């Protein structure tokens, strides 16, 4: 069965700080990885996804993630966060079943 | 045009009542889902439908009954509502059931059972 772990429950950063959110997955087969963002009171939106090829994936709004197969990880990064990045971030994995989500990481960006 | 739309956005009801949430997608996708997001923001899949057929039912109480009249619609009916059913319910759709298909989510329905 697929599972996803997000280690950070709540991250608080100042504007312009760099961000890295951890995500580890467990799945024995070919894996597809996603990061979704949920802004306060809104639905989930896709930030980026990895299926194959270059393990460094660039998404919207300056986010990127790196797939490291040996570590079963897909960490999300952004060099400089903005107040508008305040949101809940979900890592998800899909193999032969629908998306399985991690428990989410709440990011609070303060001025 | 909203890709995945669900109604109502908010639903407050008493214990024991029966309620429905409707979902429609205009993306031409074959697969639709219901996810439940609890108070701790944890997202868990409830049901998956592919071409109007139930594919996955993730140990959801049988008080929850999804219905798909056509590929573009997946409604969720809940009987005898309980306090623990309070959550945000998200409808989603994708081109295929699994693999590389990105899921598109609706705005969510915040259900509060009092």
In B8-96, DSSP assigns E strands to 10-13, 19-25, 31-37, 43-50, 53-57, 64-70, 73-78, 87-94
B101 vs B33, more confident: B33
The reported pLDDT for the residue numbered B54 is 84
Interchain contact, A43 vs B107, CB within 8 Å = yes
Answer yes or no: is pLDDT of A61 > 80.
yes
**Token pair for A59:** 């998404």
Residue of A76, A71, A1 lying closest to A34 (CA atoms): A76
pLDDT of residue B59: 78
pLDDT band for position A89 (cuts 50, 70, 90):
very high
Asked whether the beta carbons of residue A98 and residue B97 sit closer than 8 angstroms, the reply is yes
Instruction: Please report the DSSP string for A7-71 in residue order.
Output: --SEEEEETT--EEE--EEE-SS--EEEEEEE-TTS-EEEEEEE-SS-SEEE-GGG-EEEEEGGG
3-state secondary structure of A85: helix
Cβ–Cβ gap B44/A101 under 8 Å = yes
pLDDT at A69: 92
Contact A104 B43 (CB under 8 A): yes
Strands A10-14 and A105-110 come out as parallel
Whole-number percent of chain B with pLDDT over 70 = 98
Distance (Å, whole) CA B30 – CA B47: 14
- For B75-87, the pLDDT digits (tens) are 999 999 999 999 9
For A52, other C-beta atoms within 10 Å of its C-beta total 9
Q: Tell whether A34 lies on the interface with B, counting CB pairs under 8 A.
A: yes
Q: Could you give phi then psi for residue A110, rounded to 5 degrees?
A: -110, 150
> Quick one: which of B48, B26, B45 has its CA closest to B37?
B45
Residue A45 pLDDT greater than 70, yes or no:
yes
Q: Is the pLDDT confidence value at A2 over 90?
A: no
Q: Choose the weakest-confidence range: A9-18, A82-91, A102-111, B1-10.
A: B1-10
- pLDDT, average across residues A71-87: 97
Residue A67 near residue A7 (C-beta atoms within 8 A) = no
Do B42 and A101 count as a contact with CB atoms less than 8 A apart?
yes
B101 contacts A42? CB cut-off 8 A: no
pLDDT band at B94 (very low <50, low <70, confident <90, very high): very high
More confident residue, B101 or A45: A45
Model confidence band, residue B1 (pLDDT cutoffs 50, 70, 90): low
Q: How far apart are CA B88 and CA B110, in angstroms?
A: 4
Which residues pair with residue B6 across a beta bridge? Answer: B23
- Searching chain A, which residue's CA lies closest to the CA of residue B10? A41
Judge whether residue B9 has pLDDT over 80: yes
Residues of A in contact with B49 (CB under 8 A): none
> Confidence band (pLDDT; 50, 70, 90) for B100?
confident
Question: Which residues on chain B place their C-beta less than 8 Å from a C-beta of chain A?
Answer: 4, 31, 33, 40-45, 48, 56, 90, 92, 94, 97-103, 105-108
How many of the other CB atoms lie within 10 Å of CB of B20?
13
Q: Which residues of chain A lie closer than 8 angstroms to B42, CB-CB? A: 101, 103-104
**For the CA atoms of B62, B63, B64, B69, what is the dihedral angle to 10 degrees?**
90
| Chain B: closest CA distance from residue A89 (Å) | 10
Q: Which token pair is A60? A: 């919207």
Q: Tokens in use for A80? A: 């400089």
Question: For the segment B53-71, what is each residue's pLDDT rounded down to a tens digit?
Answer: 888 777 789 999 999 999 9
What is the overall mean pLDDT for chain A?
Answer: 93
- Give the mean pLDDT of chain B: 92
Query: Residue A72: left if φ>0, alpha if ψ -120 to 50, beta else—which one?
Result: left
């Amino acid at each position: 069965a697929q599972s996803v772990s997000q280690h950070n429950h709540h991250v608080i950063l100042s504007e312009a700080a760099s961000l890295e959110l951890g995500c580890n997955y467990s799945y024995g087969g070919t894996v597809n990885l996603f990061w979704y963002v949920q802004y306060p009171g809104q639905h989930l939106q896709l930030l980026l996804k990895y299926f194959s090829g270059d393990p460094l994936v660039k998404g919207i709004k300056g986010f990127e993630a790196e797939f490291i197969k040996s570590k079963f990880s897909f960490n999300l990064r952004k060099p400089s966060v903005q107040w508008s990045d305040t949101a809940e971030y979900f890592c998800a994995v899909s193999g032969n079943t629908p998306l399985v989500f991690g428990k989410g990481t709440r990011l609070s960006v303060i001025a | 045009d909203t890709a995945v739309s669900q109604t109502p956005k908010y639903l407050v009801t008493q214990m024991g009542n029966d309620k429905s949430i409707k979902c429609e997608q205009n993306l031409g996708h074959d697969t639709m889902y219901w996810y439940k997001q609890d108070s701790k923001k944890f997202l868990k899949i409830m049901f998956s439908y592919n071409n109007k057929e139930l594919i996955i039912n993730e140990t959801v109480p049988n008080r929850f009954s999804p219905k798909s009249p056509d590929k573009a619609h997946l409604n969720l009916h809940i009987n005898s509502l309980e306090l623990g059913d309070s959550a945000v319910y998200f409808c989603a759709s994708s081109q295929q059931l699994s693999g590389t298909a990105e899921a598109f989510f609706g705005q969510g329905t915040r259900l509060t059972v009092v």
